[in-house]
A = this chain, B = another copy of it.
Amino acid sequence: MDTAVASIRQTSVEHILAATEPVFAKHGFEGATMAQLAAAAGLPKANLHYYFGTKEGLYRAVLEGILALWLDDAAEWIVPERHPAEGFAGYVRAKMTHSRERPDASRIFADELLRGAPHIMMYLGIELRNRVTELAAVIEGWTARGLMDAVHPVHLLFNIWAMTQTYADFDVQIRAVLGKVSIDDAEFAVATETVVALVLKGCGVRPSEGRLP
């Protein structure tokens, strides 16, 4: 089962998941067709049905890989041991890096939310909600220690997600308004530091002076 040797099944499954992610990102679950998905994987449609049963089964498998990726950034940066200046800046930069390197993952998640989250309602209401409760406690702790202003921690998180993910989800609008065919590294760095500054100054985060109290 869990040997280091990649079984044919495992290899095929991983190949199909990676190859079909851009198709779901481009067309959404409803818009993507099995013919497109199969063509992207370089396989006949029947093979996708063999491994995932239905189009929805394939989509759920793609989604689950994305959700696992999603929760990790916050757990690394929004922790009591850090000063909020470091924690928020690190978190925003990590999210922005994800928006740059895995925009398709962000778009699939955005599409799922836009449709009313028909496939991940339980994840939102239980797993994500629990994580947010933990993060909110850390942020309130920072405020209690006088390291930043009192800001509604949950709405702050919603806004950090919104700002960072807009650079993946609505990338086409950003490129059109900036008049650029693609967003280069320098422009993306400007965007990242604009968001970092908005969050740090917007929350009245005191400057980090070495160790925490």
Contact = CB atoms under 8 A, between A and B. Distances in A.
B116 A26 contact: yes
Interface in A94-117: 107, 110-111, 113-117
B197 A202 contact: yes
A166 B176 contact: no
B152 A161 contact: no
Contacts of A204: 201
Contact of A30 (B30, B132, B170): B30
Interface residues of A, number: 54
A25 B177 CA distance: 24
Copies of this chain, tallied across the complex: 2
Nearest to A29: B31
Contacts of A111: 28, 111, 114
A203 interface: yes
Interface string A137-163: 000000000000101101110110111
Nearest to A116: B172
Interface in A162-193: 162-163, 165-167, 169-170, 172-174, 176-179, 190-191
A128 B170 CA distance: 14
